[in-house]
Amino acid sequence: MENQEQHKRRPRYKGTHPKNYKEKYKELNPEKYGDTVAKIIQKGHTPAGMHISICVKEILDFLQIRPGQKGLDATLGYGGHTHEMLKCLNHKGHLYSLDVDPIELVKTRERLEKLGYGEDVLTIKHINFAKIDKVCEEVGKFDFVLADLGVSSMQIDNPDRGFTYKKDGPLDLRLNPQKGVSAAQRLRDVTQAELQGMLVENSDEPYAEEISRAIMKSIYSGGDVSTTTQLRQIITDALAFLPADKRKDIIKKSCQRTFQALRIDVNSEFEVLYTFLEKLPNVLVSGGRVAILTFHSGEDRLVKKAFKTMYREGIYKEIANDVIRPSAEECNMNSRARSAKLRWAVKA
């Protein structure tokens, strides 16, 4: 028949296992290839296009969600935390979930709808969590709030998003690629002093001077720094003076920190988090609970300082004295959990 949908062949790849993101058709279709996905997770890896939620038990233990409550997931992502919180509500009450990523938001909405969570219990908004006050004005205060500040695995794994130095792709790094400037453009707009400061402030990069000088030298001489591999090569060359036995590991960590610093900058992550923390108490009911999951020292310092300051001022009646970390078992099952830190507070 003319209207019959044409059959599409699966992606071809060299070798026994697909290496390219788009060739991993089984991992990218977990509903159809559940057994394959389960085996990958069991080995301690995250399947392509998926995200494994971190500290789920610890978060739920603290939030103490009850049916009938109203909650907010400030960072929807893949929807794993949202799904677990919805199960606690048991179709009684309502959960609001926010995200700035228009690409993943659509996929997550469809995924949760298939699990039976429609607009009667779940409202998803394409909005930055710095605007929680606007959401609160519209729907009222919340009994519980969760913010998972980590970049989702499906964003990291997709080379088209440019979040990782490990795969070749455009040097973008925007959580919302429809707004703002890419990391490539940002590098063309900054001075060496600004870039060096960015690397120090956003990721504590010990070789900030050498890396920033090399990047600016490449740009000033007409070199192209528009892809992830081009930036990785510049960092590698800039640190070629290091001892051979230590060079590989240091370059890896400097690449991670440089990409982190650029991502924080192009998404104004510290400014957004500061605004969120400032507005947070005003969207919580008395006794309302908030849990925040951070993944690097800069984020954790901001959360710790805000909670301590507001505790002293009597805004929060209780805060976490120490960070809660994922269990050793969780870290073994999910290597991306190792850097996670969980802090919480209770509104007075």
Arch. (CATH architecture) of 177-266: Orthogonal Bundle (1.10)
Token pair in block for residue 91: 């179709």
Task: Give pLDDT tens digits for 147-165.
Answer: 999 887 778 888 888 888 9
Class of residue 267 by CB neighbours under 10 A (exposed 0-12, middle 13-18, buried 19+): buried
Task: Give pLDDT tens digits for 211-232.
Answer: 999 999 999 998 889 999 999 9
The reported pLDDT for the residue numbered 115 is 93
CB neighbour list of residue 293: distance below 8 Å, 6 or more residues apart: 54, 55, 59, 146, 147, 148, 149, 150, 340, 341, 342
The reported pLDDT for the residue numbered 157 is 81
Residue 32 has pLDDT above 60, yes or no: no
Q: Quick check: 174 and 101 in contact, CB under 8 A?
A: no
Class of residue 339 by CB neighbours under 10 A (exposed 0-12, middle 13-18, buried 19+): middle
Residue 2 has pLDDT above 50, yes or no: no
Task: Give pLDDT tens digits for 286-332.
Answer: 999 999 999 998 999 999 999 999 999 999 999 999 999 999 999 88
Of residues 277 and 44, more confidently modeled: 277
pTM of the predicted model as reported, rounded to 2 decimal places: 0.84
Token pair in block for residue 102: 């228009």
CB neighbour list of residue 218: distance below 8 Å, 6 or more residues apart: 225, 234
Of residues 45 and 176, more confidently modeled: 176
The DSSP call for residue 227 is: B
Q: Label residue 53 by pLDDT band (50, 70, 90).
A: confident
Token pair in block for residue 252: 């890896």
Q: Quick check: 284 and 292 in contact, CB under 8 A?
A: no
Residue range 56-153+270-347 forms a domain whose CATH class is alpha beta
- Name the average pLDDT for the chain: 88
The reported pLDDT for the residue numbered 35 is 59
Residue 237 has pLDDT above 80, yes or no: yes
The helix/strand count (H/E) of the chain reads as 14, 7
* Pick from 23-32, 92-101, 113-122, 136-145: least confident: 23-32
Dihedral pair phi/psi, residue 80, rounded to 5° = -65, -50
Domain limits, the chain? 56-153+270-347, 177-266
Whose CA is closest to 51, among 73, 23, 86, 27?
27
Q: Quick check: 69 and 144 in contact, CB under 8 A?
A: yes
Q: Label residue 270 by pLDDT band (50, 70, 90).
A: very high
Residue 65 has pLDDT above 50, yes or no: yes
